[in-house]
Amino acid sequence: MHEKRERSKSVALGSTFLNMILFAVKGSIAVQIGSLGLLTDSVHTLTDSVSSIGVYLGLRLADKPPDEEHPYGHGRAEHVAVLLVGLLLVMTAVKFLSDGAVALMDESPMIDVSGTIVLIIAGTAVVKLAMWGWSYHVGSAEKTVSLVADAWHHLTDVFTTVLVIVGLWGAGRGYLYMDSLVGIGIACFIFYVGVNYTRRSMNNLMGAAPTEGFFSEIKEKAESFDGVKEVHGINVHDYGRKLAISLHMQPEDSTTSVKAHEIAHALKEMLEEEFSAFVEVHQEPWEPPVEEITGLIQSLSEEMNEVNDIHKIKVMERKEGFFISMHLVLPRDTNVEKAHVVATEVERRIKKTIEEELRLKMDVQVHIEPCEEDCEHCSVEEHRYL
């Protein structure tokens, strides 16, 4: 994608000059033949010129790099340009609605239009149609929202010019009110376009949320990333040239904090490239279910006759992963060979049970303690499970 959008700026400048030429052509004809409809249409073309120069200036400002006051860049300048265009259209429409109403109440003079003039007016519509295709193609290719909006502005001029030709045809055959009605109709259309541009740009400037479908797309792509269990708390802000996306990421179970940090960084890079956005990933480290783990271990110790007690159970995190350590209390007369066999079996059964019941993978380490058998009560009541 063209970061500076040079083609978009060239199109905006070219459109500005072409619109000024078309305004001069249509405006001079309108004054010559006394047509309110054509005069309204010519001013509409002039607003197209102002619109295009606004797009150009907005793109130039949006090119400025981020600074201390604008850490996400100046991309919203494009939305400001669209807002100004919308307000200009609304004011223009109100003026010509008033003029059209006055013209309807007054007696309009007969309008005599030659075939040559009609062909010239029709030619301006063809030029605007070409300008629409040019602006829309480049704006879509470079993802320039203000230029695409300007393209539709060009297309409205095509329709209004066709209406003008119809109005002139009617006025030339005695239906004098048709020219005024066409002027009013065009003014209403300009008003609608202006309000639409104004509303859209204000929504963007005020931080309107994107569609639910866009949130779903972010969530789907993030959760399909290797090592990510779930994402939530997704926020999206539109800064014109780029979006700013923030989200909370929970890694898959048994992921260490070191590994989770690596996953979060890789996820950030993937989303930045995918959505051309500033991305911030808040990592939520996985917390092992300590109470459930200790409960399963205690249940296993009660089922094994060779075990007096299991205590000092700790669930810890190391660079290579999570693991469980514990103290295994065996009968006092247990020999070393038997103690080793029992400890190995305890490790195996605990590991197997945790994997099956909690779907977690952890290393298990057992420290053997001989039972002194002179305690007043079982030390299990004093255990602290961490």
Query: Is residue 41 very low, low, confident or very high in pLDDT (cuts 50, 70, 90)?
Result: confident
Taking the domain 6-205, which CATH number applies?
1.20.1510.10
pLDDT at residue 72 above 50? Answer: yes
Query: Is residue 126 very low, low, confident or very high in pLDDT (cuts 50, 70, 90)?
Result: very high
Please give the average per-residue pLDDT across 8-23, as a whole number: 89
* pLDDT at residue 207, rounded to an integer: 64
pLDDT at residue 380 above 50? Answer: no
What's the CA gap between 45 and 120, in Å, rounded? Answer: 15
Nearest to 18 by CA among 61, 51, 40: 51
Nearest to 383 by CA among 300, 305, 298: 298
Please give the average per-residue pLDDT across 361-371, as a whole number: 80
Nearest to 299 by CA among 380, 363, 370: 380
* pLDDT at residue 10, rounded to an integer: 87
The fold adopted by the segment(s) 212-283 is: Alpha-Beta Plaits (3.30.70)
| C-beta separation of 97 from 158 below 8 A | no
pLDDT tens per residue, range 274-285 = 887 788 888 876
Query: Is residue 2 very low, low, confident or very high in pLDDT (cuts 50, 70, 90)?
Result: very low
Please give the average per-residue pLDDT across 78-91, as a whole number: 76
DSSP state of 252: P
Q: Average pLDDT of the chain?
A: 78
Please give the average per-residue pLDDT across 155-167, as a whole number: 78
pLDDT at residue 191 above 80? Answer: yes
What's the CA gap between 234 and 267, in Å, rounded? Answer: 14
* pLDDT at residue 71, rounded to an integer: 63
Least confident segment among 205-209, 261-265, 379-383: 379-383
Q: SS3 for 71?
A: coil
* pLDDT at residue 42, rounded to an integer: 84
* pLDDT at residue 179, rounded to an integer: 65
* pLDDT at residue 377, rounded to an integer: 39
Please give the average per-residue pLDDT across 357-370, as a whole number: 80
Please give the average per-residue pLDDT across 134-156, as a whole number: 81
Least confident segment among 43-52, 306-315, 322-331: 43-52
pLDDT at residue 264 above 80? Answer: yes
Q: Is 152 exposed, middle or buried (0-12, 13-18, 19+ CB in 10 A)?
A: middle
| C-beta separation of 62 from 209 below 8 A | no
**Percentage of residues of the chain with pLDDT beyond 70:** 81
Domain segments of the chain as ranges: 6-205, 212-283, 290-382
Query: Is residue 378 very low, low, confident or very high in pLDDT (cuts 50, 70, 90)?
Result: very low
Instruction: Find which of 58-62, 217-221, 303-307 is predicted with most confidence, using mean pLDDT.
Output: 217-221
Domain 212-283 matches domain 290-382 at the CATH topology level: yes
pLDDT tens per residue, range 105-116 = 655 555 667 778
Taking the domain 290-382, which CATH number applies?
3.30.70.1350
Please give the average per-residue pLDDT across 337-346, as a whole number: 87
Query: Is residue 157 very low, low, confident or very high in pLDDT (cuts 50, 70, 90)?
Result: confident
**Percentage of residues of the chain with pLDDT beyond 90:** 4
What is the side-by-side strand order in the sheet with 277-283? 228-238, 243-251, 277-283
